[in-house]
A and B are shown apart, each in its own frame.
Chain A
Amino acid sequence: MESQVEQTSDAMASKRFDGSWERAHRNITAAACIGLLITGVLYVYAQSFLTIIFVFINSSGELHAFKGGNFIERLSHSIVLLKNPLRYSVIISQFLFMLLPILWIIKRWHTTHVLSYVRISRISFLELSVAIAATICFIPVSGGISDFFAKQLNMPDFLAQINAQIFTSYSIEELLWLIVVVCITPALCEEVLFRGYFQRTLERTLGMKSLFIAGIIFGLYHMQPLNLISLALLGIMFGYFFYRSKSLLPGVAAHFINNLIAVFSLYKTHDGRVFFDVFDLEITFLGVIIALVLTGGWLYIYHRITQINFEDKLSLAGN
């Protein structure tokens, strides 16, 4: 009963579209795309700018060291120089130039009921657990796809390991800091942008298609051609959680867990041992297939457990 009242109020609040774009009866799909582009441009430029500033603040005296050594040494050196500035710039730019602008856009263009619009609403523990289980099972699939392209390209392992330095932690303090930067921040900010705003707005005109579009754009936004397919699939899965539960929380939790496993797998203990070395793991084709089947199974369970609520919310929202 309580949940039904909550759903009704959520649906009514969502219907109170009092923003300037809504009042002018402008194209909603256009709002979704333009809002996403404005935020994307702001974020990318701000992040690059902040990284440069932090590099200068952090290590202006060491910049001359770029000249020496071969390509690998120079790359390793630049990653060491970039590591902390990049972490600072990610956390600042994700909150200030991704989350804040998109919340401002929602308030100005769509509705003053911002939290209701992005669907910050409670869901059952079971829904949350199944979403997390599906995400964990999907990790070998996304890893396998990225690995396949890297192998096709003959990409040396040391390049991937150098790149992974950004996410590697050498102490508990650094691990906790990385959890804030790599797990909490993107899970919150990116989910609000891609699911809470972009998919939510597209959903009003395109329905279920919105989760595929938002997923693909999520993959493209990361600007990592080798990980494009796996990121897009992951984005579609997060979008599916959002679409079925009509809540942002399962996507946030799934995103957080996905990144958390990556960070934990790169945590080096005090004796230099890797906590859980993903680079030593050979993802076989069979492993990917089994993981895919398991993910499918969890998604089916998710579909079933969200069935009643999904239909109720759909009729209440009038979609």
Chain B
Amino acid sequence: MNPPFLPLTLGDIFEKTFSLIGKTFFRNLFIAVIILLFPIILMAIAMDAFYSSLADMQGSILQGVSTPGLDMVLAILGPLVFFGCATIIFVLGILLAEIAVSIIVSQEILSNPINFFDALHDTFSMKCLYGIGQGILKYAILIGGVIAASIVMAILGAVSKLLMGIIAIIGLLVLVPVFVYVFLKWYFALTVVAVDDLTAIESLRKSWYLVEGHWWRTLGILILLTILSQFAITIVSLPISFGSMWDFYKEYFTLLGKTGGNIDPQSLAQLENSVGPGIAIGSGISALLSLLITPVFTVVMYYDLCARENADKISAQKPIIKHDISSEPIDLSSL
């Protein structure tokens, strides 16, 4: 059961997020590294294999050794499947790290700080399954909806191209807002799992219920915080990503210098050989930095929504309850 916090202003959300990032920084960083280290390495290996086979394939086509066909598709299928599996593990890693970071931040807000070990222990319980469950449910419904709409359009397209065009425009105009609306309504589901220990369906239901009546405010604040945090992540991760792709750039500039800008397509295809691990490490670092910020403001916003929900309830009950000390709201900004 959540204590009845006071609703936060935008300034409070900014300040609380900033203070919490500072207070939980090293624990969150440790958790993110522990959980994401293996997926990032796996991703680097998978991307290396994928880009190498892609470069080989392009090279052999350009040399005229082989022609595009089924055997070529089969040759790249293995690295592609490996890359797909590595991506799934990477996404799962981010999801689990988000749960762990949310637990740490939530406990910090509740003035009950916990160490990273307890947070990890708490994450790898039923919460882990609920978290994955809500993710699968959420994205299955969202992506499923888009696929279903596309199938309908394809069927209509078979009947008449004009009809498909009209339906496609109407579909886009309706689908995009619906997608954004539902996505935002379920945005806090993972936080609910981490903080309130609810099941996958219950978490989706609670998130939907919490955002009710505050949709536009939540959208505005989320856009603002996402833009600001992504900017911070970009300026910090840019030199790191550049460093991780140092070998690629060195090879590229060497070629550029030798050829005076006339790099032949075969050499360009060869360059792809070394691009994979750099991209994986760069994305890994960005994800890692993102984990230090995004779950923090999401938890703060979640408590703010809970507080607003409570405030709505209290204001609805005002004529009956005059003053109840036990339900006195706690000023979240004083924590």
Interface residue ranges, A against B (CB under 8 Å): 20-21, 24, 26-27, 29-30, 33-34, 37-38, 40-41, 44, 70-73, 75, 152-156, 158-159, 217, 220-221, 223, 225, 228
Contacts and interface: CB of A to CB of B under 8 A. Distances in A.
Nearest to A72: B261
Main secondary structure of the interface of B (DSSP, over half): helix
B115 interface: no
B11 A20 contact: yes
Contacts of A75: 261
Given A27-B19, A37-B232, A40-B231, A154 B239 contact: no
B238 A153 contact: no
B231 A223 contact: no
A255 B76 CA distance: 53
A70 B228 contact: no
Contacts of B257: 154-156
A156 B260 CA distance: 9
A156 B263 contact: no
A225 B18 contact: no
Main secondary structure of the interface of A (DSSP, over half): helix
Contacts of B232: 37
Contact of B256 (A29, A156, A217): A156
A37 B228 contact: yes
A44 B15 contact: no
B250 A153 contact: yes
B25 to A, nearest CB: 13
Interface stretch (B127-135, B151-159, B241-249, B302-310): B241-249
Given A41-B228, A41-B231, A156-B257, A27 B15 contact: yes
A29 B25 CA distance: 15
A220 B236 contact: yes
Interface residues of B, number: 28
Nearest to A24: B11
Interface of B: 11, 14-15, 18-19, 22, 227-228, 231-232, 234-236, 238-239, 242-243, 246, 249-250, 253-254, 256-257, 260-263
B292 to A, nearest CB: 14
Contact of B11 (A21, A152, A159, A228): A21
A155 B228 contact: no
A70 B18 contact: no
20 contacts: A20-B11, A30-B18, A33-B18, A34-B14, A38-B228, A41-B228, A70-B261, A71-B256, A72-B260, A75-B261, A153-B246, A154-B253, A155-B253, A156-B256, A217-B235, A220-B235, A223-B235, A225-B239, A225-B242, A228-B239
A106 to B, nearest CB: 15
A34 B256 CA distance: 41
Contacts of A20: 11
Contacts of B235: 40, 217, 220-221, 223
B135 to A, nearest CB: 29
A4 B189 CA distance: 60
A34 B22 CA distance: 14
Nearest to B236: A220
Nearest to B254: A154
